[in-house]
């Protein structure tokens, strides 16, 4: 073990291959992993969280890509090992299986690029470190929060999954490189064998998979105020909003995300929406 109890050989995989179909049309031209939350691409948030654990560089961190893979590859550069899946995405388990030669016997921390986590009690990294704190290297551990309905399908020990899990090599080494998901291929079998543990996550979590959750994550990142990129121009009125790089807001926006380069014209009034592209707008009433 090193540092905050991390196994010395721990590696990490960030899953960034998905199409983000529930976020369309936002993801028609931008992969979900690169959608900005609080003016920071989701993938960069995941990589920063791992770096907070001391996991960085192509020897310790891998990113998979498929949908609009060229954008992910260009964005990651040499910050991580890249695994580009041909054709359709392989799913969460298939994506890990495609990296078995790189994982090469190590335990692996797997995170979803679209997971937005914010724990005010801990800076990025140490909150996820709870997954391996005291870990015996044998079980599967999931980061989770208590579910509104503890018996609902998709829950684990009454908890909803919050984006990160840690897996021992023995449970990933035989995964086939075919489309499959970790729930069926690893987590549920481990649960049935009494080898799955849920580590409670005390912070805020959104999976950003829908426009509503994506907007809610952005508003949380703005902390109730207005978050404006220095290169944006705002002559109108903004409340509880996020305005991206190179954007221009001459109208009124409230509880709105204005994407990089997007424009809100004088006289426009946007509320609970995402403005992107050439004046395109996605309704996205946020939670709370």
Structure tokens at 87: 């054709």
Ranges 68-72, 117-121, 163-167, 242-246: which has the least confidence: 117-121
Percent of the chain with pLDDT over 90: 84
- pLDDT attached to residue 287: 56
Give Rg (Cα) of the chain: 19
pLDDT per residue over 93-136, tens digit each? 999 999 999 999 999 999 999 999 998 777 777 889 899 999 99
**Do strands 108-112 and 40-41 pair parallel, antiparallel, or not at all (unpaired)?**
unpaired
Judged against a pLDDT cut of 50, whether residue 2 lies above it is answered with: no
What are the C-alpha distances in Å from 240 to residues 59, 142, 207, 270, 274?
Answer: 40, 32, 20, 12, 13
CB atoms within 10 A of CB 212: 16
CB atoms within 10 A of CB 210: 13
What are the C-alpha distances in Å from 184 to residues 4, 94, 139?
Answer: 30, 11, 16
- pLDDT attached to residue 83: 97
| Residues pairing with 238 in the sheet | 253
- pLDDT attached to residue 188: 96
Torsion, Cα of 118, 119, 122, 124 (10° steps): -20
pLDDT per residue over 150-183, tens digit each? 888 889 999 999 999 999 999 999 999 999 999 9
What is the fold, at CATH topology level, of the domain defined by 11-206? Spore Coat Polysaccharide Biosynthesis Protein SpsA; Chain A (3.90.550)
The pair phi, psi for residue 133, each rounded to 5°, is -70, 115
């Amino acid at each position: 073990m090193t540092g905050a109890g991390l196994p010395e050989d721990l590696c990490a995989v960030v899953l960034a291959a998905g199409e983000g179909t529930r976020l369309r049309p936002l993801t028609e031209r931008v992969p979900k992993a690169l959608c900005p939350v609080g003016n920071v691409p989701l993938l960069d948030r995941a990589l920063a969280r791992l770096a907070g654990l001391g996991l960085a560089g192509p020897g310790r961190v891998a990113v998979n890509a498929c949908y609009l893979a060229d954008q992910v590859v260009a964005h990651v550069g040499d910050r991580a090992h890249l695994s580009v899946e041909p054709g359709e995405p392989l799913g969460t388990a298939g994506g890990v299986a495609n990296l078995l030669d790189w994982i090469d016997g190590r335990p692996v921390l797997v995170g979803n690029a679209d997971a937005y986590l914010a724990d005010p009690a801990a800076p990025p990294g140490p909150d996820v470190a709870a997954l391996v704190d005291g870990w015996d290297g044998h079980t599967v551990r999931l980061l989770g929060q208590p579910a509104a309905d503890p018996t609902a399908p998709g829950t684990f020990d009454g908890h909803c999954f919050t984006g990160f899990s840690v897996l021992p090599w023995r449970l990933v080494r035989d995964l086939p490189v075919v489309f499959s998901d970790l729930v069926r291929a690893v987590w549920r079998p481990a649960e049935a064998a009494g080898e799955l543990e849920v580590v409670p996550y005390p912070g805020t979590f959104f999976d950003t998979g829908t426009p509503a959750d994506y907007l809610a994550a952005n508003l949380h990142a703005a902390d109730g105020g207005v978050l404006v990129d220095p290169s944006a121009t705002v002559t109108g009125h903004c409340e509880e909003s996020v305005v991206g790089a190179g954007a221009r807001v001459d109208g009124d926006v409230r509880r709105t995300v204005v994407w990089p380069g997007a424009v809100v014209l004088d006289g426009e009034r946007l509320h609970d929406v995402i403005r992107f592209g050439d004046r395109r707008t996605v309704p996205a009433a946020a939670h709370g």
